[in-house]
Chain A
Amino acid sequence: MAARVITITSGKGGVGKTTGVANLGVSLALEGNRVIVVDVDIGLRNLDVVMGLENRIVYDVVDVVEGTCRLQQALIRDKRLPELHLLAAAQTRDKTAVSPEQMISLCDELRQICDFVLLDSPAGIERGFQNAIAGAEEAIVMTTPEVAAVRDADRIIGLLEASEKSPPKLIINRIKPDMVRRGDMLATEDVTEVLAIELLGIVPEDDNIIVCTNKGIPIALDGHAGAGVAFHNIAKRILGEDVPLMSLAQEPRLLGRMKRLVGRG
């Protein structure tokens, strides 16, 4: 009955880990799983805002490990989905407030009461990252198709492989198909060629994510095409389903235009 405990990490900041955790959490819950998402970015709380739960936080992860409250008191139930809970990060402490050993104990407690624990790792490779991976068996590395992000992802993969977790899997986020087509953005193959780990999924750049974060509604709840579908697909793959990768419109431009003229684009 013990849950799968998965850390989403990246090395580089700003590639979309928090959005990914929120939406994968929603997607897995929509598939009927009990999910707890944990914000491990102590001092820079964000997962709550992305999920629209910022007003409901009373206790946070530091309160739990310090024994100020019981775990159940700190878990915030997402009212939109009865099987999704958030354990928020502390906002007024920093990464030293929690140790990897404490995270292992916390994850051991969490895994008894749900099907999936998703840990939102902070950027970097120091204590915050160590805290985020300590209690997990699996890791997902998130990157964007840019040189700096892929370089950092490579470093993180090296650290993960040295840490004896399961082989990490890759999500490539914020892909802009037009730019890929024009040759102005690295294609999926360019990234998987150098990182050489299993590709879990790809997510297109989607302006609706900004709108959704504005409203505090994860895009996977909003039923949009694009990024929401991509996250749903990734959740299904996490569950073992074989879902083909989204086709992010690799067809030549002219064909696309003609299709649209004929009303089939």
Chain B
Amino acid sequence: MGFVSKLLTREPRSKDIARQRLQLVLVRDRQSLSPGLMQTIRDEIILAISKHLEVDEDNTKLTLSQSAGHHRLIVDIPLQGRARRA
């Protein structure tokens, strides 16, 4: 059984491993290389939300997080004044 399963399972080709590693490392490299970009994104998000809700700009936080190969942009916007209910 071991012999047959060896025939059936294919070891990943090293170039496929290289490709995956390359894609991951580049995603990470590229994110950490735009110091101005985070600020721009933050400003635009605040602007967009401010059209509808009062936003505490100074305490608005954007964070990049990474877990298990997934990257997330987490936006934390404290609201002030009275939130309008739809």
Q: Which residues of A contact B (CB under 8 A)?
A: 146-147, 150-151, 154-155, 158, 180, 182-187, 190, 194
User: Nearest A residue to B23 by beta-carbon distance?
Assistant: A194
A101 to B33 alpha-carbon distance, docked (Å): 26
Inter-subunit contact A147/B15 (CB<8 Å): no
Inter-subunit contact B16/A151 (CB<8 Å): no
With a CB–CB cut-off of 8 A, which chain A residues contact B83?
none
Inter-subunit contact B16/A147 (CB<8 Å): no
With a CB–CB cut-off of 8 A, which chain A residues contact B30?
154, 158
Inter-subunit contact B18/A155 (CB<8 Å): no
Known A-B contacts A154-B30, A155-B29; the reply to A185 vs B15 at CB < 8 A is: yes
With a CB–CB cut-off of 8 A, which chain A residues contact B26?
151, 154, 194
Give the shortest distance, in Å, between B34 (CB) and chain A (any CB).
9
Known A-B contacts A183-B13, A194-B26; the reply to A147 vs B33 at CB < 8 A is: no
Inter-subunit contact A147/B25 (CB<8 Å): yes
With a CB–CB cut-off of 8 A, which chain A residues contact B85?
none
Inter-subunit contact A186/B15 (CB<8 Å): yes
Inter-subunit contact B16/A183 (CB<8 Å): yes
A185 to B22 alpha-carbon distance, docked (Å): 13
Give the shortest distance, in Å, between B8 (CB) and chain A (any CB).
18
- Starting from the known contacts A183-B13, A186-B15, A190-B19, 13 additional A-B residue pairs (CB-CB under 8 Å) come to A146-B18, A147-B21, A147-B25, A150-B22, A154-B30, A155-B29, A155-B33, A182-B13, A183-B15, A184-B15, A186-B22, A190-B22, A194-B26
With a CB–CB cut-off of 8 A, which chain B residues contact A186?
15, 18-19, 22
A184 to B18 alpha-carbon distance, docked (Å): 9
A158 to B25 alpha-carbon distance, docked (Å): 15
Give the shortest distance, in Å, between A96 (CB) and chain B (any CB).
25
User: Nearest B residue to A185 by beta-carbon distance?
Assistant: B15
With a CB–CB cut-off of 8 A, which chain B residues contact A180?
15
User: Nearest B residue to A150 by beta-carbon distance?
Assistant: B22
Is B14 at the interface (CB under 8 A from chain A)? yes
Inter-subunit contact A184/B22 (CB<8 Å): no
Give the shortest distance, in Å, between A196 (CB) and chain B (any CB).
10
12 residue pairs from A and B, CB less than 8 Å apart: A147-B21, A150-B22, A154-B26, A158-B30, A158-B33, A182-B13, A184-B13, A185-B15, A186-B15, A186-B18, A187-B15, A190-B19
Give the shortest distance, in Å, between B12 (CB) and chain A (any CB).
9
Which listed residue, B14, B19, B25, B33, touches A184 by the CB 8 Å rule? B14
User: Nearest A residue to B33 by beta-carbon distance?
Assistant: A158
User: Nearest B residue to A184 by beta-carbon distance?
Assistant: B14
Inter-subunit contact B18/A147 (CB<8 Å): yes
Inter-subunit contact A183/B14 (CB<8 Å): yes
Give the shortest distance, in Å, between B83 (CB) and chain A (any CB).
40
- Nearest 9 Cβ contacts at the A-B interface: A183-B13, A190-B19, A183-B15, A147-B22, A147-B18, A186-B15, A184-B14, A154-B26, A186-B18
A146 to B26 alpha-carbon distance, docked (Å): 13
Give the shortest distance, in Å, between B65 (CB) and chain A (any CB).
22
A187 to B22 alpha-carbon distance, docked (Å): 13
Which of B13, B14, B19, B21 has its CB near the most chain A CB atoms (within 10 A)?
Answer: B19
A-contacting residues, B20-49, CB 8 Å: 21-23, 25-26, 29-30, 33
